[in-house]
Chains A and B, each alone.
Chain A
């Protein structure tokens, strides 16, 4: 009997470890030989802990499971009160187009044989035969754009590093996933770490880089542990090391743990942090592709971009590019979070509308109240009202509507949210996380909090709103990076779409 209990942080945070212990104890008490496999998460977080039992028809699921639900797992499973049927037939799962996350939740994340059986290392093997120029052409043709948020064409970045002449080049994975509402990087590192290793190794082969770093945030202790174990296993089996898969290419990989600074998700701040400095943003140019880590040509890509590389090389650029719309090719792991009924990770081709995601797939709010706003793209993304739910999930369509795809996070709020407070929070967060290098971000955000406080207190709201708008203009055009430059998006979208929250009458003064 094979039983799957996820080892994903979201599953463990809601009791998966205790459940695994309870299942093992129950099986042994009944004299049943049960093999418990700790898989990644399927991404249906509202069902976690989601336990699966293998049957000839496929894996059947049960969730969200408590230890008291365990004994019934060993009886008539169809009659189990938490029975979900075939996991891959659950509509949330069945409607997805999983490319990057195809293996996540299916395999044991640290079983190399399992990884290989499910297509692992086929991309790397093909990459080695294609050679550097061939790989870069393939990545360009796939249309893959940086999944960290900026959406820069990955193939062009790779080509720049490939053609740069240097004695040392680096591959850096940006796994500093600090945006609230996003967890795709964490899920792939905990659920399918070899895909990231394979993607980075392909990048090494494509550019001649022999050393890679995964800059992984300290808030992800389980991902750090899984990645380190996976790297050791890959090294042992010669998928990493001095002679990758017998190709003659050397590639070494190391996890570098961050220290709780959101701004280090900005690529140049990340590079400074990797060099042992304060994570301060660098002025561009020079671009990191030419002068990056320790002054050497460096590919710095998001975790999801790099984890998508193996499937592109395995199935071909065209297969990937056939998904999507316009200039947004392929699929996006959309992370549906916050006050939502069916929250989790939903990988789909670009083009799906926001309304489909929030209303049909996610089923509205967890509280059952009406959806009032969705923050798309993390703390630097706009608040989108339901009137804009017709927007297709596409980089260009979102930009046109002054919104942001970002790293693919969607945070849902019900009608109890106070948008003036959310606008204030955006400024407060920017002040808390500003690296301090440029004035609009460092000082503007602090002044922004003060002015928002006045508006919330009802002090001269018209005059102060004009001041906030002016301040947002300065931050947007005067900041060095996206932290100061994009903080105006949540602030201004809250003001523009929810003006009624910003014009409350002044609170009456307490009676003397």
Chain B
């Protein structure tokens, strides 16, 4: 479970990296790992610490698909939408699951249980379709398998 914003902890995380712009991505990864997302306060602190503008930090946060500016659900299910998974019916399975949960890509269930996001290739293309649930990999997911995976995360 990710913790609430804590400036002291954030400062410690930033201080573990070289104070240069080249450390921006590793710092953002570490901040998101700790707090679940990159908040406005985090961006301000990082900009000051690395002596770069807030616009530069925001530009990077908004450019990369990995970084989120809002907290996600308790579980994050990333479904591969790339061609190899499509060839094995991944897109149909994904659409069916999204419809059943009443979600769009990137959406979170109203109870905050599950966020479903697209991902473009996990490198599991010879055992498609594939997915990643909270960092764990799953492949050869038919419709029933995907359903079971999405429902098991509570």
Complex-state Cα separation, A278 to B85, whole angstroms? 28
Q: Which residues of the partner chain A approach B84 to less than 8 Å between Cβ atoms?
A: 180-181, 337-338, 411
Q: Are A422 and B25 in contact (CB under 8 A)?
A: no
B85: A residues at CB distance < 8 A: 180
A123 at the interface (CB under 8 A from B): no
- Using A14-B127, A182-B125 as known contacts, say yes or no to A278 and B60 having CB atoms under 8 A apart: yes
Stretch of A144-152, A256-264, A502-510 on the interface side: A256-264
Cα of A9 to Cα of B136 in the assembled complex, Å:
10
A219-B126 CB under 8 A given contacts A259-B25, A276-B60, A339-B88? no
In the bound complex, what is the Cα–Cα distance between A456 and B88 (angstroms)? 22
Nearest Cβ in chain B — how far from A415, in angstroms?
12
Report the bound CA distance from A272 to B130 in whole Å: 30
Contact A219 B119 (CB under 8 A): yes
Q: Do B63 and A261 touch (CB < 8 A)?
A: yes
Which A residues from 468 to 512 make CB contacts under 8 A with B? none
**Cβ of A383 to closest chain B Cβ, rounded Å:** 10
Within 8 Å by CB of B121, from A179, A261, A276, A344, lies A179
B22:A13 contact, CB within 8 angstroms: no
Chain B, residue nearest A280 (CB): B63
A429 to B25 Cα, complex, angstroms: 23
C-alpha gap A422/B119 in the complex (Å): 17
How distant is the Cα of A256 from the Cα of B28 in the complex, in angstroms? 12
- Chain B residues, CB < 8 A from A177: 121, 123
The docked-state distance in angstroms from the alpha carbon of A366 to that of B20 is 50
CA distance A429 to B83 in the complex (A): 10
Whether A275 pairs with B87 at a CB distance below 8 angstroms is: no
CB distance from A180 to the nearest CB of B (A): 3
Whole-angstrom CA separation of A13 from B135 in the bound complex: 11
Q: Which of A269-305 contact B (CB under 8 A)?
A: 273-279, 294
Q: How many A-B residue pairs have CB under 8 A?
A: 152
**Alpha-carbon gap, A337 to B123, bound state (A):** 10
- Which DSSP category, helix, strand, loop or mixed, fits chain A's interface? mixed
CA distance A277 to B57 in the complex (A): 8
How many Å lie between the Cα of A275 and that of B50 in the bound state?
A: 13
Q: Could you say which residues of chain B place their CB within 8 Å of the CB of A45?
A: 126-127
Question: How far, in whole Å, are A433 and B120 apart by their CA atoms in the complex?
Answer: 10
From residue 389 to 435 of chain A, which have CB atoms closer than 8 A to chain B? 409, 411-414, 417, 422, 425, 429, 432-433, 435
C-alpha gap A337/B127 in the complex (Å): 8
A278 touching B121, Cβ below 8 Å: no
Contacts A256-B25, A275-B22 given; does A10 touch B121 at CB 8 Å? no
| B49 interface residue per 8 A CB criterion | no
* Beta-carbon contacts under 8 Å, B8-45 to A: 20-26, 28-29
Tell me, yes or no, whether B3 is within 8 Å of chain A by CB.
Answer: no
A10-B139, A294-B22, A337-B126 known; 5 new pairs, CB 8 Å cut-off, are A180-B84, A180-B120, A258-B25, A260-B119, A379-B83
27 A/B residue pairs, CB under 8 Å, sorted by A: A13-B122, A13-B137, A45-B126, A46-B126, A46-B127, A48-B127, A177-B121, A177-B123, A180-B82, A180-B120, A180-B121, A183-B125, A219-B121, A219-B123, A259-B66, A259-B67, A260-B119, A261-B63, A273-B25, A276-B23, A278-B63, A335-B126, A338-B128, A340-B126, A417-B87, A422-B83, A429-B120
